[in-house]
């Protein structure tokens, strides 16, 4: 770190500390925070640590069977052509199909039949075509891509995080959809010395479908001598989702105890804490407890780090570890937004006669100057007959607010019927001298398209 960078860093440290504590930081606090920041920078090796390690491994590959054959020359030409098409956002499908056809003719293993820069180009093209361009591929082509990645895995050169994501997409398309298939790949990465970080684990979680899978993944990760906090929080959140899905209250309670024993509130974002914990409590019928938690969260004061970047949040975490700031202060990152209310509406919609509770939630949202989100507005419109005090002008304002936010979300049949009923119930006037076109519900109709139909044919007055 240069002197200039150090000065900026120290000034920022002083500024944030003073915002939180109200005074300049003593020297020992600054020294301790700087030491911790240095240790993190060395141990984490930046965001691209695993990818950089793999690229360094591959630089040691010495091509042994590079031949200037016609097949190789055509392969190189297609490699450049396909890359250029991707860069210009052109249709790459035909070029990519031809590239894979010529690739199959190269000597195998192909990682020893091309130079390192060509290997990286091919990997980049494959991942972009699979993850971004949506190229349609035959099973034979998918197997060719799988064999390309298998060569790197089997020869100890690992897969970058994007390559692993692409490899998993290929496995899924080929019907290798079990967690064991992913764990086999992760084991090869581990044997190559690759750090299985939260990105690899996050990609793997899509195949974790039950308690047994969840336990198998956790055991696999723990076998490597400990699980990093950012990885373990991902596993914990997945467990919360599955405990709801399987209606396993004992597992849910065990996860809550794990949270108390192993984590700090600062380890989770507000979305995770609010949505996952409240969703689970509501799913298991703890409505009163959830409501008390929500009420408490709404009383949390705003803090200066609400919109802070990750580095500043890490600084706050250092302050808490040092005891300089009360641990409860970090509760401010849990201040609810309108999404926090959505699970309550979903829960109450299952119980007829919940008009009073729903109305109280709406009052809470408005009293705390939160904007009603699209999903909640649609919920209100679906159940508008259940709410007291909603006048024609208020309903019209809700509809116009929705219309100002175009949505590609498909409207469901309940929403469609509710919207049509609202225009009848509130007797909005039809547009004069205009023949109203009949609109029937069908799949593929978006919320915006449905709203626009009614707004074209009725006056909201």
Q: What average pLDDT score do residues 411-415 get? A: 82
State residue 43's pLDDT score.
38
| Per-residue burial over 321-344, b = 16 or more CB atoms within 10 Å of its CB, e = otherwise | eeebbeeebbbbbbbbebebbbbb
> Could you read off the pLDDT of 232-286 as tens digits, one per residue?
888 999 999 999 999 999 999 999 888 878 876 656 666 666 678 888 999 998 9
State residue 433's pLDDT score.
58
Percent of the chain with pLDDT over 70: 75
State residue 366's pLDDT score.
81
Long-range contacts of 33-42 (CB under 8 A, 24+ apart): 33/315, 33/318, 33/319, 33/322, 34/9, 36/318, 37/314, 37/318, 40/314
What is the domain partition of the chain in residue ranges? 49-196, 372-459
Q: Of the given ranges (30-34, 172-176, 393-397, 449-453), which has the lowest mean pLDDT? A: 30-34
Asked if the model's pLDDT at residue 205 lies above 70, the reply is yes
At 116, is the pLDDT very low, low, confident or very high (cuts 50, 70, 90)?
Answer: confident
Mean pLDDT of the chain: 79
At 219, is the pLDDT very low, low, confident or very high (cuts 50, 70, 90)?
Answer: very high
Q: Compute the 3-state secondary structure of the chain and give helix, strand, coil in percent, each to the nearest 5.
A: 70, 0, 30
> Could you read off the pLDDT of 33-87 as tens digits, one per residue?
554 443 344 334 444 678 888 988 888 887 766 566 777 888 889 998 999 888 8
Asked if the model's pLDDT at residue 192 lies above 60, the reply is yes
Asked if the model's pLDDT at residue 375 lies above 60, the reply is yes
Top-confidence residue, 352 or 200: 200
State residue 1's pLDDT score.
39
Name the CA radius of gyration of the chain, rounded.
28
């Amino acid at each position: 770190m240069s002197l200039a960078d150090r000065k900026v860093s120290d000034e920022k440290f002083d500024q944030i500390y003073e915002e939180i504590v109200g005074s300049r930081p003593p020297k020992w606090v600054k020294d301790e925070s700087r030491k911790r920041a240095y240790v993190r920078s060395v141990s984490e090796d930046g965001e691209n640590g695993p990818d950089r390690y793999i690229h360094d491994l591959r630089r040691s590959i010495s091509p042994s069977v590079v031949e200037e054959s016609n097949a190789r020359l055509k392969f190189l030409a297609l490699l450049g052509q396909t890359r250029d098409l991707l860069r210009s956002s052109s249709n790459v499908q035909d070029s990519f199909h031809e590239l894979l056809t010529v690739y199959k003719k190269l000597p195998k293993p192909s990682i020893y039949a091309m130079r390192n820069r060509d290997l990286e180009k091919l990997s980049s093209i494959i991942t972009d075509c699979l993850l971004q361009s949506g190229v349609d591929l035959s099973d034979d082509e998918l197997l060719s891509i799988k064999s390309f990645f298998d060569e790197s895995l089997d020869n100890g050169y690992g897969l970058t995080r994007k390559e692993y994501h692409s490899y998993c997409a290929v496995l899924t398309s080929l019907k290798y959809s079990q967690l064991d298939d992913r764990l086999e790949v992760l084991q090869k990465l581990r044997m190559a010395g690759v750090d299985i970080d939260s990105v690899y684990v996050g990609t793997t979680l899509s195949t974790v479908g039950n308690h047994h899978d969840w336990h198998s993944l956790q055991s696999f990760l723990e076998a490597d001598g400990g699980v990093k906090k950012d990885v373990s929080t991902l596993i914990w959140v997945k467990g919360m989702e599955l405990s709801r899905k399987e209606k396993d209250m004992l597992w849910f309670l065990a996860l809550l105890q794990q949270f108390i024993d192993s984590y700090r509130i600062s380890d989770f974002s507000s979305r995770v804490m609010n949505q996952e914990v409240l969703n689970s409590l509501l799913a298991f019928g703890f409505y009163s407890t959830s409501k008390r938690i929500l009420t408490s969260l709404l009383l949390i004061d705003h803090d200066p780090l609400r919109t802070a970047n990750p580095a500043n949040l890490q600084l706050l975490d250092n302050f808490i570890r040092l005891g300089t700031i009360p641990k409860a202060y970090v509760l401010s990152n849990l201040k609810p937004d309108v999404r926090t209310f959505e699970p309550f509406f979903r829960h109450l919609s299952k119980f007829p006669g919940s008009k009073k509770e729903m109305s109280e939630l709406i009052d809470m949202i408005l009293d705390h100057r939160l904007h009603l989100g699209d999903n909640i507005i649609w919920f209100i419109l679906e159940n508008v007959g259940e709410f007291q005090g909603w006048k024609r002008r208020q309903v019209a304002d809700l509809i116009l607010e929705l219309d100002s936010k175009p949505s590609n979300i498909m409207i469901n049949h309940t929403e469609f019927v509710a919207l049509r009923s609202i225009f009848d119930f509130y007797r909005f006037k039809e547009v004069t001298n205009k023949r109203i076109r009949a609109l029937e519900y069908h799949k593929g109709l978006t919320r915006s398209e449905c709203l626009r139909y009614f707004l074209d044919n009725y006056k909201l007055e």
